[in-house]
Structure 1
């Protein structure tokens, strides 16, 4: 039940990032899930097309996007690959691995990784996009092309007339929290040890972490 709730929340973030607005809530997605035909989902699962949980969320996301006239096509399917479309000519992708779903979307003329596990949007260059998608596939992700006209959004309008540069790439949320904790511990260590010695700072940080002052990474 807990993983289903996490998956539902992740799917909600994925869809709202795709559409660039608070369009869906967990209640909305739950309602769509209940509308799905149970017999069809069981038949799909028995056909070896993946776990019940994966298929359920895939169907929920597909049904939610149909409201906007959007369709999902599996990126590495024969049907799509035969079209020989350069990924930079698409508008968006949805990526999934286990319970995690996230969106890669073009805003203006630039691509962004809108992963809710990151501290912010990650800029992806046109030359890196295909390599990034291939890397995700190698890591076990399923990738879907979002086809259709996405609703207008302010970010798309602004980035349509200007480009952004990203001096520092966003970190994973867990990494950012760990760095903040480490910085706090180092600051405490400098208060307790009146010596200008980096090795002493490091020893003090390790000592504090072992005492439970900071959570293990």
Structure 2
């Protein structure tokens, strides 16, 4: 990766960075591009003068700023196109009918230049691998052949204009090295800090679009991992919901017990959405509380009602009940009579 030439963003000179990253060398300076822009402005002025230097159209043209460059360092597509002609290279709009009729797979091309408002960057093939050479990145970003078309499609969706480079690019060291070996990228480069990248409103917009494009590519590359993470998250969520519902069911059972329901102290065991409660003495009873059909909010309200009742009972003063022993003796006597009656039947 060190052999790849990658100019990082300085001011608003993304057009210069785009060209040099495409050609893999410091071939153009701001002065060079400014000269091309002034030449284009003069050609346009001469064409407008043909209609008369006293015409309103000509006067209006003279009052307008240059459409080929500005003080921030922006250069138009005409400047970039003229700069590439020096190297025998031409631009063709990627989504034009003329190019689409050629039916060329993007991986068989050599390079693309992408533009969003006032930001330019290069995507180039070096050896047998594709790299995003955006000057807003801290370094070259490897793009696999599988996701190159998807990456370009996402850029178009975000509003980018994409141009195909036609012609023979100059030879470079990275092309020679990557022609005999392939590289792997363990960690994708990050975007340069916003303070360094904010040269104009167009660059801020392009940065947001680039982040979206990067997010899509990374999401597709890690699709299987992402699906696994989603499945695990849903599984954890289901477990949490099941645990909460189980707690709610237990609270409902306790509230039934507190209100006189004939439920024993045997632990309640929830089983896949059905609550089965067994008593200690035969015959065994199975109670399916109606709370199964209640919503989670209704269950919460019933649980809160139970907690309120429990709190009230705990705060009320308690007094000894001397009749408990008599009740116990009466119960024991009834039990003895029942036993004797049972023995008489044998």
Q: With structure 2 as the length reference, what TM-score do the two structures score? A: 0.45
Aligned pairs for 1:17-166 within 5 A: 17-36=21-40, 37-39=43-45, 52=67, 57-166=76-185
Larger radius of gyration: 2
How many residues align structurally?
166
Could you say what the CA RMSD is over the residues aligned between the two structures, in angstroms?
2.7
The 1-side partners of 2:185 and 2:47 are apart by 43
Distance of aligned partners of 1:12 and 1:41 in 2 relative to their CA distance in 1, 3 Å threshold: farther
More strand by share: 1
3-state SS of paired residue (1:105): strand
User: Which 4+ residue blocks in structure 1 deviate beyond 6 angstroms?
Assistant: 40-43
The 2-side partners of 1:40 and 1:137 are apart by 35
Q: CA deviation at 1:176?
A: 11
Q: With structure 1 as the length reference, what TM-score do the two structures score? A: 0.71
The runs of 5 or more residues in structure 2 that have no matched partner are 1-9, 49-56, 197-346
The 1-side partners of 2:163 and 2:80 are apart by 11
The 1-side partners of 2:130 and 2:161 are apart by 19
Structure scoring higher RCO (CA < 8 A, sep ≥ 6) equals 1
Partners of 2:114 and 2:163 within 8 A in 1: yes
The runs of 5 or more residues in structure 1 that have no matched partner are 178-217
The 1-side partners of 2:101 and 2:138 are apart by 36
Q: CA deviation at 1:39?
A: 4.2
